[in-house]
Amino acid sequence: MRRTYLGEFEEVVLLMVAILDGEAYGVTVSQALEEHTGRVVTFGTVHNTLIRLEEKGFVGSELGGATNERGGRRKRLFHVTALGNRALQEIQQLRQQLWQLLPPTKLQLNSL
Amino acid sequence: MKTNELHPPQWANRVLRWLHPEDTLEEVEGDLEELYAYWYERAGKGQATWRYLLNVASVLPPFVRRRERKQAYHNPFLIQPSMLRNYFTIAFRTLAHNKVYSSINVIGLSIGLAAAMLIMLYTKDEVSFDRFHANNPHIYRITSKQFTPAGAFQSYNTHTGYLQGPKFAAGVPEIKMSVRYQSDRSDIKVGTEVKSFESFHADSSFFALFSFPLVSGNPATALREPKSVVLSEEMAEKQFGTTNALGKILLVRNSNGDSKEFEPYTVTGIAKKCPQNSSIKFDFLFPYVVSKEDMANEGNWFNFFQNTFVVLEPNANLKKVEATMNRIFEKDAKQAMEEEVKRFGPQSKMKYMLQPFTDMHLNKDMPAQNGLVDGSNPMFSYILSGIALFILLIACINFVNLTVARSLKRAKEIGVRKVVGGGRAQLMMQFLGESFILCFLAFGFALLLVQMVLPTFNELSNKALAFSYLFDAKLIAGYFALFAATGLLAGFYPALVLSNYNPVQTLYSRFNLSGKNYLQKGLVVLQFALASFLIIATLTIYSQFNYLTNKDLGYNDKGIVMVNKSGLSRNEAKVFKDELLKNQNIRDVAPKNGGNWYTVAKVNGQTEINFAYETVDATYFPLLQIPIIKGRNFSAEFNSDSTSSILVNETFVKKAGWTNPLGQVVDFWYNEGEKYKVVGVVKDFHFESLNAKISPQLFTMKPGNQYGKVFIKIKEGSETASLSHLAKTYKKLFPTNPYEYKFMDEENEKRYESEAKWKQIMLFGAILTIFISCIGLFGLATLSAERRTKEIGIRKVLGASVASITTLLSADFLKLVSLSFVFAFPVAYYAIKEWLENYPYRIDISVWTFVIAAALSILIAFFTVSFQSIKAALGNPVKSLKAE
């Protein structure tokens, strides 16, 4: 499989989209990021990352229906695609394997 | 009020809307507003506003990432064979369907292209002048700069003498060889007939330095023997009836020499005709003969009468060579210089230079002269190119205007093409292609046109260009560039406009083209500005030309015949006169020195004055009807007149500063004891062409000066009888001199040949620009009348007269033509003022020139437009209103 490089921030945003499960759009992703990781980033960064993720095929998007909130403006809702899902799982797996390889003493020493 | 407070700053929002990419604007705007509300609740207004601004900035270019556009449909490759075929079909159909429009464009463009082609041909010829020699670019002409004794620059001198060539060639190692080239006249005797021809003398290295191939004869030895001659093919044909004339004998005498005898010269070479783009053109080429005494005489350093050419080593340093030349000159001519100073007082200094051979043709300061021919003024190239550009530009404007104006008709086609998926690039390609097809047609016609008008053009431009010159790699490349440039220039804007139409509007027929259309109006104004500029220029040149040819010259040149006889002695002159006067048709005869003499003398003791030095006799002034305003003419009653009296002209008096000129003394101090008394003053007359100011003139009867020509006044209407008597007498008295007569008034007209040419060229240019502008206007008027058929029909039904409708349709265009004058007149005024400055005697710029030009343009434009307007106005409204 052709691996697409996934940056660290991209990975986090992708995870957020997965966590938010259908409710992910610019605002919620930013808020979740702030809430869960404590990182305060500009909206533009999130916006650009979401577009990039979509270009790479990890997320899909569609415009939601118009509501009375936010002056009738529609939201762009993101969801993780199958490809995105697999990418997340692969990363997870890879990490797992790498953790297995780590000598336990080393870890303890470091934690000291 | 709470909702109001929750609104982020409006100006930031506006910036966002203005700069953020359109396709993500809605979601981003919403998101940011939601975030603002979130920040507002958590951190208050100040924080929220601040964070809002920061985040807005983060989604503005260049930070924001754009969504990739999704291709909604399959985009095929632009060039498809079937599509191309369709383009061609449509193009030919449109062209065939609009015959007026197509022919206007093709005619206009082909005239424009033909003009441009001719000029390219001309320029190529000008630029290629003298470049065909194998030794090019190492051939130079020896020239010099003159400085006053004080060291200020005085003038250029392109002439050299006997010594410069050989001495410099011997002394400067970088000079490979030198050739002296002197123009002369030779009398050739065939049977009993004598004819005079221009001939040249050149050193024997002539054929080594220049690349003039010989058809027969050995170029290395052809000019070695003193009694040999090289003929051009043409001249050999004329003299011997064959070009195979090697070794034949020609009887030759120098026309300017003292000898009366003809001597046999052997033909040692037959040269190919000199190329058209050569400054050296010879029919007779004799060896250069100079006596040992002349070569030994240092005084000959200051005797200038010919051209000398040298060829340098390829890697020679020009500055160094020139410096060495000047060193040689200063050393070698030292004694001669001192003598000159002793004799004439402080002399002007000179510095020798080398002028590239190829530079002569277009050089104004150091022109091709003294036997070198066809020197040209670069101004001529500029003006010709300017006119050609004007014409081509106007033709392109026609194309743009007509295509855009016609586009309404094609709006539906464009709409359909767009609806079925034609992209803008495709449409642009289609329209550009159409303009190229038209251009290609015009190109073909232009080639035909060039072939047709080439003889006329040659005559006007003083060239011998041939159509075969076109087949030159550079020129062909130039023509392709011209073709491409014209196609682009004419087609690009219409392609841009047409491809921009909105299919929804065009297909719903809610399309409106009758907007302001400033571009079209502007282009029409530009066209007519150019045209009226050329009209004014033509009118001015015409009146200046008429002025030059009709101005009172101060003497009467009607009915005066001139014949030349070199070395005419006093006695010969008297016999000739007596013989001529035997015929009662001959009124009077006056001899004069041949050629133009200029010299210097002192007046008022010390002042030096330069003047034209004329040797005449007492009949000269009455014969030419030149009034003597002070004193008296030469007279037989005063025996001393020939040795001690002179007449001068008014300018001389002014220059000398005399209040009472009679009795004043003119001192030729360099000839011991030669002093003359002024006995009369003649009214100024234009003895030179009107392009020159009248200069001081002095008339003498000094017996030592030979006459060279004779003026003969004949009775009006007796030309045939007088001329036959003249010829008989001349041939009887001077059987060995070539007989040739000229009428003085015709000769005077010939002085203005270049003006006559300008006149014709400008006239052609003006006619062509006017013509092309008018066919363009005609096309526009046609389209506008077509567009307004319904309107005209309704107006007529409501009772409008033909006159009022014609006015309605014509007025718009005439307004534009009038507006063009505002731009054309100031520029034209400036241009003709500058041009007239060249003439010391010139017309005043008259308001009438402008009035006539304006009236002419308006009239022509009116006729063009009214033709269509009247046609439209006369149409039957029933027909125009019924048709859908």
- Cβ distance of B27 and A75 shorter than 8 Å: yes
B721 CA to centre of own chain: 43
Helix (H) or strand (E) holding B551: none
> Shortest CA distance to A15 belongs to which of A88, A94, A81, A82?
A88
Tokens representing residue B645 in the block: 């009296």
C-alpha–C-alpha distance, residues B73 and B61, integer Å: 28
The pLDDT tens digits along chain A (112 residues) read 445 678 889 999 999 999 998 889 989 999 999 888 888 889 999 999 999 999 888 999 888 877 777 778 888 999 999 999 998 998 889 889 988 888 777 666 555 4
- Cβ distance of A43 and B29 shorter than 8 Å: no
B338: pLDDT strictly greater than 70: yes
Residue in A25, A42, A51 closest to B54 by CB: A42
**Number of residues written out for chain B:** 884
B78: pLDDT strictly greater than 70: no
C-alpha–C-alpha distance, residues B613 and B628, integer Å: 18
What residues of chain B lie within 8 A of the CB of A45, using their CB? 58
Position B292 confidence tier, pLDDT thresholds 50, 70, 90: confident
What are phi and psi for residue B74, nearest 5 degrees? -70, 130
What residues contact residue B80 under an 8 Å CB cut-off, 6+ apart?
Answer: none
- Cβ distance of B27 and A63 shorter than 8 Å: yes
What residues of chain B lie within 8 A of the CB of A57, using their CB? none
Indicate the pTM of the whole model. Answer: 0.67
Q: With contact defined as beta carbons under 8 Å apart, do B160 and B288 qualify?
A: no
What residues contact residue A27 under an 8 Å CB cut-off, 6+ apart?
Answer: B31, B34, B35, B38
Kindly list the distances between the CA atom of residue B649 and the CA atoms of B194, B601, B698, B699, B759, in Å, as whole numbers in the listed order.
38, 15, 7, 8, 33
- Cβ distance of A43 and B26 shorter than 8 Å: no
C-alpha–C-alpha distance, residues B679 and B47, integer Å: 111
Residue with structure tokens 């190692």?
A: B173
- Cβ distance of A73 and B27 shorter than 8 Å: yes
Residues of B with CB under 8 A from a CB of A: 24, 26-35, 38, 54-55, 57-59, 63-68
Helix (H) or strand (E) holding B657: none
Q: With contact defined as beta carbons under 8 Å apart, do B627 and B681 qualify?
A: no
What residues contact residue B865 under an 8 Å CB cut-off, 6+ apart?
Answer: B777, B778, B781, B809, B810, B813, B814
B529: pLDDT strictly greater than 60: yes
- What chain A residue is nearest to B27 in terms of C-alpha separation? A75
What residues of chain B lie within 8 A of the CB of A63, using their CB? 26-27
3-state helix, strand, coil in chain B (%, to 5): 55, 15, 30
> Shortest CA distance to B49 belongs to which of B59, B60, B39, B63?
B39
**Burial letters B669-683, b for 16+ CB under 10 A, else e:** beeeebebebbbbbe
What residues contact residue B818 under an 8 Å CB cut-off, 6+ apart?
Answer: B854, B858
- Cβ distance of B32 and A73 shorter than 8 Å: no
pLDDT at site A71: 76
C-alpha–C-alpha distance, residues B880 and B793, integer Å: 6
B684: pLDDT strictly greater than 80: yes
Q: Find the radius of gyration of the CA atoms of chain A.
A: 17
- Cβ distance of B35 and A27 shorter than 8 Å: yes
- What chain B residue is nearest to A53 in terms of C-alpha separation? B67
- Cβ distance of A42 and B64 shorter than 8 Å: no
Kindly list the distances between the CA atom of residue A42 and the CA atoms of A29, A79, B54, B439, B757, in Å, as whole numbers in the listed order.
12, 21, 7, 58, 78
Residue in B26, B55, B65 closest to A74 by CB: B26
pLDDT at site A1: 42
For B573-595, the pLDDT digits (tens) are 888 998 888 888 888 899 998 87
What residues of chain B lie within 8 A of the CB of A73, using their CB? 26-27, 29-30, 33
Q: Which of A13, A25, A27 to mutate to test the interface with B (most CBs of B within 10 A)?
A: A27
> Shortest CA distance to B286 belongs to which of B217, B142, B184?
B184
Task: Kindly tell me the sign of the dihedral angle through the C-alpha atoms of B56, B58, B63, B64.
Answer: negative
Q: Cis check for the bond before A103: say yes or no (omega within 30 of 0).
A: no
Q: With contact defined as beta carbons under 8 Å apart, do B350 and B304 qualify?
A: no
Mean pLDDT of B283-300: 88
Kindly list the distances between the CA atom of residue B523 and the CA atoms of B390, B401, B867, in Å, as whole numbers in the listed order.
13, 8, 21
Q: Which residue has the higher pLDDT, B265 or B786?
A: B265
Q: Which of B17, B34, B51 to mutate to test the interface with A (most CBs of A within 10 A)?
A: B34
What residues of chain A lie within 8 A of the CB of B30, using their CB? 70-71, 73-75
pLDDT at site B21: 86
For B686-724, the pLDDT digits (tens) are 888 787 888 899 999 888 888 888 999 988 888 888 888
- Cβ distance of B34 and A27 shorter than 8 Å: yes
- What chain A residue is nearest to B34 in terms of C-alpha separation? A70
C-alpha–C-alpha distance, residues A13 and A36, integer Å: 11
Q: With contact defined as beta carbons under 8 Å apart, do B360 and B131 qualify?
A: no
**CA contacts within 13 A on the Cβ side of B766:** 21
User: DSSP string of B269-317?
Assistant: EEEPPPPTT-S---SEEEE----HHHHH-GGGGG---BEEEEEE-TT--
For B158-174, the pLDDT digits (tens) are 888 888 899 999 989 99
B309: pLDDT strictly greater than 90: yes
What residues of chain A lie within 8 A of the CB of B66, using their CB? 51
What residues of chain A lie within 8 A of the CB of B63, using their CB? 44, 48
Q: Which domains does chain A have, with CATH numbers?
A: 6-90 (1.10.10.10)
Residue in B34, B58, B65 closest to A70 by CB: B34
pLDDT at site B2: 43
Mean pLDDT of B795-809: 87
C-alpha–C-alpha distance, residues B630 and B619, integer Å: 17
Q: With contact defined as beta carbons under 8 Å apart, do B794 and B884 qualify?
A: no
- Cβ distance of B31 and A26 shorter than 8 Å: yes
Q: Provide the shortest C-alpha distance from residue A53 to chain B (in Å).
A: 11
What residues of chain A lie within 8 A of the CB of B33, using their CB? 70-71, 73
Burial of B512 (0-12, 13-18, 19+ CB in 10 A): exposed
Tokens representing residue B60 in the block: 């503005």
> Shortest CA distance to B859 belongs to which of B601, B577, B531?
B531
pLDDT at site B69: 67
What are phi and psi for residue B365, nearest 5 degrees? -80, -40
B707 CA to centre of own chain: 39
Kindly list the distances between the CA atom of residue B371 and the CA atoms of B209, B265, B273, in Å, as whole numbers in the listed order.
17, 22, 16
What residues of chain A lie within 8 A of the CB of B59, using their CB? 43-44, 47
- Cβ distance of A43 and B35 shorter than 8 Å: yes
For B742-779, the pLDDT digits (tens) are 888 888 887 787 778 778 888 888 888 888 888 888 88
> Shortest CA distance to B111 belongs to which of B382, B387, B379, B383?
B387
Q: Does A26 touch chain B (CB under 8 A)?
A: yes
E-strand stretches of B293-449: 307-312, 349-356
Q: Provide the shortest C-alpha distance from residue A90 to chain B (in Å).
A: 27
Burial of B542 (0-12, 13-18, 19+ CB in 10 A): middle
Q: With contact defined as beta carbons under 8 Å apart, do B252 and B265 qualify?
A: yes
Residue in A47, A52, A55 closest to B59 by CB: A47
Tokens representing residue B550 in the block: 């009709």
Tokens representing residue B583 in the block: 């015929």
User: DSSP string of B532-550?
Assistant: HHHHHHHHHHHHHHHHHHH
Q: Find the radius of gyration of the CA atoms of chain B.
A: 39
Residue with structure tokens 């009035």?
A: B851
ipTM of the complex: 0.88
Q: Does A66 touch chain B (CB under 8 A)?
A: no
Q: Which of A20, A42, A45, A62 to mutate to test the interface with B (most CBs of B within 10 A)?
A: A42
For B498-511, the pLDDT digits (tens) are 787 777 777 776 55
Q: Which residue has the higher pLDDT, B632 or B515?
A: B632
- What chain B residue is nearest to A27 in terms of C-alpha separation? B31
C-alpha–C-alpha distance, residues B431 and B790, integer Å: 29
Beta-sheet strand order (sheet of B707-714):
B586-592, B707-714, B560-568, B741-743
Backbone dihedral region of B741: left (phi > 0), alpha (psi from -120 to 50 degrees) or beta?
beta
- Cβ distance of A55 and B68 shorter than 8 Å: yes
With H, G, I as helix, E, B as strand and everything else as coil, classify residue B394: helix
B349 bridge partner residues: B147
Q: Which of B20, B31, B33, B60 to mutate to test the interface with A (most CBs of A within 10 A)?
A: B31
Position B741 confidence tier, pLDDT thresholds 50, 70, 90: confident
Position B5 confidence tier, pLDDT thresholds 50, 70, 90: low
Position B75 confidence tier, pLDDT thresholds 50, 70, 90: low
Residue in B28, B54, B57 closest to A47 by CB: B28
> Shortest CA distance to B352 belongs to which of B387, B374, B326?
B326
pLDDT at site B509: 60
> Shortest CA distance to A75 belongs to which of B626, B28, B730, B806?
B28
B601 CA to centre of own chain: 40
pLDDT at site B187: 86
What residues of chain A lie within 8 A of the CB of B35, using their CB? 26-27, 30, 43
Q: Domain limits of chain B?
A: 3-75, 78-129+377-511, 139-359, 560-748
**Burial letters B91-110, b for 16+ CB under 10 A, else e:** beebbeebeebbebbbbbbb
Q: Which residue has the higher pLDDT, B252 or B75?
A: B252
pLDDT at site A47: 92
**Burial letters B699-732, b for 16+ CB under 10 A, else e:** bbbeeeebbbbbbbbbeeebeeebbebbeebbee
Q: Provide the shortest C-alpha distance from residue A112 to chain B (in Å).
A: 38
Q: With contact defined as beta carbons under 8 Å apart, do A59 and A81 qualify?
A: yes
Tokens representing residue B674 in the block: 């030669």
pLDDT at site B708: 85
C-alpha–C-alpha distance, residues B738 and B199, integer Å: 15
Q: With contact defined as beta carbons under 8 Å apart, do A79 and A22 qualify?
A: yes
Burial of B808 (0-12, 13-18, 19+ CB in 10 A): middle
Beta strands B193-202 and B284-287, pairing class: parallel
